[in-house]
């Protein structure tokens, strides 16, 4: 028998959405590289071995949509586009740091 107080969890809370966003393929690498400076598409392709254009494109667009990255179009000779970590994006680095700290403890 189901009592009212059994239901406590929404199917998709905000924390979970955030977690999904962070854990998508190549996302952690993107974050890690973004901390070091502006990202460029073709550089990412080279820096992340195994990644493909499509997936990177999707990942970048999702992160831009969620305001973790800012897309900056530089109208210059060969046309450059830079992806920059926003304040919101930077606020997630704490989560990564926590995760790294935890996994360091567990298997040294």
Partner DNA sequence: GTTAGTGGTCATGTTTTTCTGACTTATTGT
Partner DNA sequence: ACAATAAGTCAGAAAAACATGACCACTAAC
Q: Interface with a copy of itself by CB under 8 A: which residues?
A: 2, 6-9, 11, 13-20, 22-23, 28-29, 32-33, 36, 43, 46-50, 88, 91-92, 94-96, 98-100, 102-107
Pairwise CA distance, residues 56 & 18, whole Å: 18
52 binds DNA (CB under 7 A): yes
**Helix or strand or coil: residue 18?**
helix
Report what 22 binds from a copy of itself, DNA, none; CB cut-off 5-8 Å by kind: a copy of itself
Instruction: Look up residue 11 and give its two tokens.
Output: 């199917």
Indicate the burial class of 24 (C-beta count within 10 angstroms; 0-12, 13-18, 19 or more).
middle
Q: Applying CB under 7 A, which residues contact DNA?
A: 24-26, 40-43, 50-55, 57-58, 60-61, 77-81
């Amino acid at each position: 028998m189901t009592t009212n107080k059994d239901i406590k969890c929404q199917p998709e809370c905000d924390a979970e959405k955030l977690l999904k966003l962070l854990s998508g393929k190549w996302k952690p690498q993107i974050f890690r590289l973004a901390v070091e400076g502006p990202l460029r598409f073709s550089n990412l392709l080279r820096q992340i071995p195994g990644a493909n254009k499509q997936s990177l494109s999707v990942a970048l667009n999702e992160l831009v949509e969620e305001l973790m990255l800012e897309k900056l179009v530089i109208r210059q000779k060969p046309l450059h586009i830079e992806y920059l970590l926003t304040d919101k994006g930077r606020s997630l680095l704490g989560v990564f740091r926590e995760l790294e700290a935890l996994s360091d403890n567990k298997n040294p």
